[in-house]
Chains A and B, each alone.
Chain A
Amino acid sequence: MAAILPLTMPKFGLAMTEGMVAAWQKQPGETIRQGEEIADIETSKITSAYESPVSGKLRRQVLEAGTMAPVGALIGVVADDAVPDAEIDAFIADFQSRFAASQAEAGAEAAGPERVQTAQGTAQYLAAGPAEAPVILFIHGFGGDLNNWMFLQPALAENFRTIALDLPGHGGSTKQVPAPDAAGLAGFVLAAMDALGIPAAHLVGHSMGGAVALAMARANAERVLSLSLISPAGLGVEINRGYIEGFIEARRGKHLTPLLQSLFADPTLVGQDMVETVLRYKRLDGVEAALRAIASAQFPEGRQAASLRAVLDTPRTPAQVIWGMRDAIIPAAHAENLPAHVKVTLFDAAGHMAQMERPADTAERIASLAGGGI
């Protein structure tokens, strides 16, 4: 039977409610494969490629480039040549009327970040997924926050209880950082796990958050089910000193923009809203002092202070390393010469933010190590 498949506005992150088809990469009549980039979707935070969830022939572009639509809205239709145009028209009409009805019912109930008091101060986190499922805990990098996981947290929340945490000095967590080294931040993450009643979790650490995850595995291995490290700190000495110092100093958009662009292989991903969001974070009382304390504890003189490579020597905790080959902050060469039991994934077309530039592939690898699918 000839099936008609809808392409709908994807949801990049839990906060996304609508998006715009910035540009179509495929024209009606072209054959598309699952996983192929078919359109650029622009949200208030970022522009990202939409990878087709299905294979087949693109028959219609329902939304023109430049049109905003809510998440779940019909943007295109895939069907093979056997399906007559009239059937596709009927499919679109039916989808639109049912979608309009469901939109009217849904209302506004998007879950936002929550805060919990821990033994080490307030922790902000964003939770998603079934409460009884195994826990995946995301730990962002220097200057980042829980929004860094927006593109892959929803996918992983299908089968896992996912918690994206703000480290101290970051996001909505306490700006007091009494112990700014990797071990100190690891202590904060453990305190947050205690407060949330999480005995053990699969850890996903990005950049400095990777070093924090390694420090947790070193000190409290029984609480770490697996380690997925994305462009992690802790595996070598080099780090982009200009980025760290520039990020602390930058108070204006024009200074911050090129720094944020250097995080990505594709600098056009950095929109004005992303820059403004980071500037707003940096203006909060206590943030600059916290960033300085963390940088001088972990990256003094532009070198990484802590070597945590030895944590990966024993195969006790399943571990993998994911790196963008075009990482301009921490060189991907740090993924070389790791023990054989550590799976290494290198992405050609990604920089320091593989979780944002290759979210589907990264999520798939995290789920696979954590023992489940997406």
Chain B
Amino acid sequence: MSKKSFRQAINEALAQEMERDPRVVIMGEDIAGGLGAPGEDDAWGGVLGVTKGLVGKFGRERVLDTPITESGFIGAAAGAALRGLRPVAELMFVDFMGVCFDQIFNQAAKFRYMFGGKATTPLVIRTMFGAGFRAASQHSQCLYPIFTHIPGLKVVIPSSPYEAKGLLIQSIRDDDPVIFFEHKVMYDVEEEVPDEPYAIPFGEARFVREGDDVTIVAFGRMVSMASQAAEALAKEGVSCSVIDPRTASPLDLPTILESVRETGRLVLVDEASPRCNLATDISAQVAEQAFDALKAPIRMVSPPHTPVPFAPALEDEFVPNAEKIAAAVRSTMRAPSKQAAE
């Protein structure tokens, strides 16, 4: 056991699964180190260095630099998965998914169903998402709600280095296509991560902390924001549960419902654009199934419905943070008449 960054945890998961299973291959733009010239091997390791070192360990047969053609290599990865490999494709920024939607939505996600359960597609697509990196509106989106919408895809959003390693190993061992979301601001976050391989099952939410008054549900980077808010609120005498569902699809709704039945209050934190995101989805399901348990309206903390701004001051204002989450929690604790007036 030692301290590892989010980046190291992902690298270690890839290396250990490649070690364990010769069918695991990785592919993507610049993940090996450039154009295939020997001197450049391992110089690069992907745009943020996540796959650095892997081509040296496993060779160019299993660590494939691809052309800048997402439609080509994501399609190739889906086909390879169908034929028995277990490819992990890196699609740099999730913002670029648009050019390979057909390969993902109509092909990879549908193979098992269209072939009557006789085919499996053990494909993982790793991709970066999220704002706060000063990367402007075409490189900062949180597009996981779009993938959550598609039956046949699994959607994973790790919230820490420990979670990233265990969830990526589970993703690689899973027989269905998995979209694995890495928040680009988290790569240098460190915590204790076991050296041994381990898998965290999908569809099992994690209680980051347990409290009595309010349930906060958050994904990815927002989990640590929610924990900071809960910490501050505890000093005011407001006790919060913080739930990290870990996977948007499958979603551990029973755990969320159970917690809401205990607290009677729900705050949903989602860094994705506010229309049709995970917060609205969970809000609707809780309202439908546990309306009787609610003591206050459900609150949602999301950015405004705009592209992610490039101006630093605006970007900082755009992203949900602990203060905004705490304010939403406080609003659920007020008397019902005041809530109605807001």
Minimum C-beta distance from A22 to chain B (A): 15
Q: Is the CB of A284 within 8 A of B204?
A: no
> What is the CB-to-nearest-CB distance from A283 to chain B, in angstroms, rounded to a whole number?
4
Q: Does B22 reach chain A (CB closer than 8 Å)?
A: no
Q: Which of B155-182 contact A (CB under 8 A)?
A: 162, 166
- Whether the Cβ atoms of B201 and A284 lie closer than 8 Å is no
Instruction: Say yes or no: A285-B204 contact (C-beta < 8 A), given A172-B1, A272-B209, A272-B210.
Output: no
Contact A252 B166 (CB under 8 A): no
Contacting residues, chain B, for A280 (C-beta < 8 A): 162, 194, 198
Asked if B119 lies at the interface with its beta carbon under 8 angstroms from chain A, I say no
Is there an interface contact between B207 and A175, defined as CB atoms closer than 8 Å? no
> Is B61 at the interface (CB under 8 A from chain A)?
no
Which of A172, A175, A283, A285 interacts with B200 by CB under 8 Å? A283
Asked whether any CB of chain A lies closer than 8 Å to the CB of B196, the reply is yes
Establish whether residues B196 and A251, one from each chain, have CB atoms under 8 Å apart when the complex forms. no
Is A199 in the interface zone, CB < 8 Å from B? Answer: no
Distance in angstroms between the alpha carbons of A253 and B207 in the assembled complex? 8
Q: How many residues of A contact B (CB 8 A)?
A: 11
Question: Is B84 interfacial (CB 8 A cutoff)?
Answer: no
A251/B209 in contact, CB under 8 A: no
Asked whether, in the complex, the Cβ of B198 is within 8 Å of the Cβ of A251, the reply is no
Q: Are A284 and B197 in contact (CB under 8 A)?
A: yes
A252-B200 CB under 8 A given contacts A272-B209, A272-B210: no
**Residue of A172, A252, A272, A283 with highest tally of chain B CB at under 10 A:** A283
CB-defined contacts of B200 to chain A, threshold 8 Å: 283
Given A172-B1, A251-B204, A252-B204, verify A285-B210 contact (CB < 8 Å): no
Q: How far is the CB of A111 from chain B (nearest CB, A)?
A: 14
Sort chain B's interface into a size bin. 10 to 19
Given known contacts A172-B1, A251-B201, is B196 in contact with A272 (CB within 8 Å)? no
Q: Determine which of A172, A252, A285 lies in contact with B199 in the assembled complex, contact meaning CB atoms within 8 Å.
A: A285
Q: Mark A262-284, 1 if CB is under 8 A from B, else 0.
A: 00000000001000000010011
1/0 per residue B85-122: CB within 8 Å of A? 00000000000000000000000000000000000000
Q: List B contacts of A253 (CB < 8 A).
A: 207
With the chains together, A251 CA to B204 CA distance in Å? 9
Tell whether, in the assembled complex, residue B194 and residue A284 are in contact, meaning their CB atoms are under 8 Å apart. yes
Chain A 169-215 interface residues, beta-carbon cutoff 8 Å to B: 172, 175
Tell me the complex Cα distance, A172–B198, Å.
13
Shortest Cβ distance from B207 into A: residue: A253
Residues of B within 8 A of A283 (CB): 166, 198-200
Contacts of B166 in A (CB 8 A): 283
B198 touches A284 (CB 8 A): yes
Tell me the complex Cα distance, A251–B206, Å: 11
Nearest chain B CB to A270 CB, angstrom units: 13
- In the complex, A272→B211 CA distance in Å? 12
List A residues 283-301 near B (Cβ within 8 Å).
283-286
Q: Write out, one digit per residue, whether chain B residues 190-226 have a CB within 8 A of any chain A CB (1) or not (0).
A: 0000101111110010010110000000000000000
Smallest Cβ-Cβ distance to A115: which chain B residue: B195
A251 to B202, CA, bound (A): 11
Q: Which residues of A contact B210 (CB under 8 A)?
A: 272
Please name all residues of chain B whose beta carbon is closer than 8 Å to the beta carbon of A284 when the two chains form the complex: 194, 196-198
The 9 closest A-B pairs by CB, nearest first: A283-B198, A285-B197, A284-B198, A284-B196, A252-B204, A285-B198, A285-B196, A283-B166, A253-B207
Chain B residues proximal to chain A, CB less than 8 Å? 1, 162, 166, 194, 196-201, 204, 207, 209-210
Add 11 more A-B contacts to A251-B201, A251-B204 (CB < 8 A): A172-B1, A252-B204, A253-B207, A272-B209, A280-B194, A280-B198, A284-B194, A284-B196, A285-B196, A285-B197, A285-B199
User: Can you show 25 pairs from A to B with CB atoms below 8 A apart?
Assistant: A172-B1, A175-B196, A251-B201, A251-B204, A252-B204, A253-B207, A272-B207, A272-B209, A272-B210, A280-B162, A280-B194, A280-B198, A283-B166, A283-B198, A283-B199, A283-B200, A284-B194, A284-B196, A284-B197, A284-B198, A285-B196, A285-B197, A285-B198, A285-B199, A286-B196
